[in-house]
Chain A
Amino acid sequence: MFRNLLPAVALLGLVSIPVAARAAPPLELKSVKLDLPDSDRMFPDGPGSDAINNNCLACHSADMVLNQPSFSKQGWTAEVNKMINNYKAPVAPEDVGPIVDYLAALKGAK
């Protein structure tokens, strides 16, 4: 009788434990000191490339922009304004136009 019941009880006990309550073995965390790679990639030369290189690469590498699809000039204007207004990119007002024009020329809607 007991012999028959015990495995069933054990099984029930096992399946009734919620997954999130499983005991885990303790782990000793180890300190980490390392270096993350950076990118020295610049935007391709062209009218406005100085403006975009000088204003945009502090917060993110150029690959982010170069991997974007093509957008209209209106789309690129919205993108640059989002960087300035939402993410506080310190872009000099006189550089906004050249940056948008550069992006529209490099990755404008066809």
Chain B
Amino acid sequence: MAKNGSFDRMMTRRKLIAAAGAAGVALSRPAWAQKMVDLPLPGGPDARQITTSFPQKGPMILQRTRPPLLETPFEVFDKGVFTPNDQFYVRWHWALIPTDIDVAKFSLTVRGHVNQTLSLSLHDIVHELPSVQLAALNQCSGNSRGFFQPRVSGGQWANGAMGNALWTGVRLKDVLDKAGVKPGAVQVRFKGLEEPVVADAPHFMKSLDIDHARDGEVMIAYAMNGEQLPLVNGFPLRLVVPGWYATYWVKMLNDIEVLDQPDTNYWTKVAYTIPDTPHANIKPGETDVKMIPISRMVPRSFVTNVASGTKLKAAAPTTLRGIAFGGDCGVASVDFSIDRGQSWHQTQLGKDEGKYGFRQWQTQLTLPAAGEYSVLTRCTNSNGVAQPDAPNWNPAGFMRNVLESADVTAV
């Protein structure tokens, strides 16, 4: 049945394209934009297309076609702790993205405040340096931005601008050691192949402090979940900065520059900054706030198998499960509450695949009597930091990690 269904859909799409071509009709809406999803964003607009037209990608929520912003449909997170490559979210800044990458010609340059400038081939990186693997969550700084109230501009994501993968690659430290970092180095700047359409616009670059870059955890990945990266996820090389927001995870990485002065480029100093306050939280309209670069992630948790609006049987146990992450460290516990946070109950944690990744959790939920319930979940990380019970607000819509709730009815 399922096979027939997908075959039918495929035929329908082909017929549509063929029909459009034969009639020479310019469709006002592309033929692939048939399926829609509603994101529960306060005030809307909530309708988004589900697109399957991006190469190497499965069904994705279309936030923007060019440059691509593709959100992972939330039900994907119920399937396991590793997000499949073909449904891993996609976020680009500039529209000029190379679509033809020859692995024999690609090279990664390491230059700047080093003893020896390097030009490494993909063969050098894959075969000549020790390979490492690490499970790590990649989450957009603005994941869940669409839930900010008052609303803020930017990619209007629901909760699917995140994904967890098993990354394979080499340690950045090993690459820097090969070049030989000179005394006095302060930061390392990373640049990829994407380019702005407008020549004088700022090329996308991000920097890390030299000690962070050499901590042995930051890596240059050439594979995710055992496969080469999809092009739109940064093929062939992507920086992996465990525990830090995805803005630092530079895609199509081809240039590493060791700096002897702090980086002042737009993307490090101006963009991706947050108020230097607890939870990066300010009052809407508040000004004269000290801004600092966004950095470490904070804990979150989600129910993945029961959506808001679901009807559950009263006084009967239901399996409740979901995912959580600690942010910049592991998950210590995930608790749930059905009485608006007055009492909390511990869930069972699934297998630990690595402290920087998703952790599954599960519990038995029994709603005592018929009525409306908000099922709250709360992650406490291994540093003792728990999700806050009030949402944060900042003008860029960064670092949302308030308690999530699944609103269900017991009948």
Residues of chain A touching chain B, judged by Cβ–Cβ distance below 8 Å, are 19-24, 26-41, 58-61, 63-64, 66-71, 75, 79, 86-90
Contacts and interface: CB of A to CB of B under 8 A. Distances in A.
Contact of B54 (A33, A37, A61): A37
A87 B95 CA distance: 12
B168 interface: yes
A19 B135 contact: yes
A31 B168 CA distance: 18
Contacts of A34: 55-56, 99-100, 231
B241 interface: no
Given A58-B197, A87-B198, A19 B65 contact: no
Nearest to A67: B156
Contacts of A29: 103, 122, 126, 222, 228, 236
Contacts of A27: 126, 168, 222-223, 226-228
A64 B100 CA distance: 25
26 contacts: A19-B135, A19-B355, A20-B133, A20-B219, A21-B132, A22-B132, A23-B131, A23-B133, A24-B223, A27-B126, A27-B228, A29-B103, A34-B100, A36-B66, A39-B66, A58-B197, A59-B95, A63-B62, A63-B64, A67-B64, A69-B43, A71-B153, A86-B202, A87-B201, A88-B201, A89-B198
Interface string B101-135: 11110000000000000000010001100011111
B235 interface: yes
A11 B217 CA distance: 23
B228 A30 contact: yes
Contacts of B64: 60-61, 63-64, 67
Contacts of A32: 99-101, 231, 235
Contacts of B271: 86
B354 interface: yes
Contacts of A67: 45, 48, 63-64, 156
B44 interface: yes
Given A75-B153, A87-B198, A39 B266 contact: no
B203 to A, nearest CB: 11
Given A27-B222, A69-B41, A69-B156, A88 B66 contact: no
Interface in B23-70: 26, 29-30, 32, 41, 43-45, 48, 51, 53-56, 62-69
A40 B103 contact: no
Given A69-B45, A88-B196, 8 more contacts: A23-B133, A29-B126, A29-B228, A34-B99, A36-B68, A68-B153, A69-B151, A70-B151
Contacts of B155: 64
A31 B103 CA distance: 5
Contact of B216 (A20, A22, A39): A20
Contacts of A41: 29, 65
B288 interface: no
Given A36-B55, A36-B232, A60 B67 contact: yes
Interface size band for B: 35 or more
A22 to B, nearest CB: 5
Closest 8 CB pairs of A and B: A39-B65, A69-B151, A88-B201, A34-B55, A64-B64, A61-B65, A24-B131, A24-B168
B201 A22 contact: no
Contacts of A36: 54-55, 66, 68, 97, 99, 232
A16 B65 CA distance: 45
A24 B168 CA distance: 7
Interface string B128-161: 0001111100000000001000010101100000
A3 B329 CA distance: 37
B286 interface: no
Contact of A63 (B63, B103, B197): B63
B409 to A, nearest CB: 28
Contacts of A33: 99-101
A7 B180 CA distance: 41
Interface in B196-231: 196-198, 200-202, 216-217, 219, 222-223, 226-228, 231
B54 A40 contact: no
B198 A19 contact: no
Nearest to A70: B43
Contacts of B370: none
A1 to B, nearest CB: 32
Contacts of A79: 153
B238 interface: no
Contact of B99 (A24, A35, A63): A35
Contacts of B95: 58-60
A37 B30 contact: yes
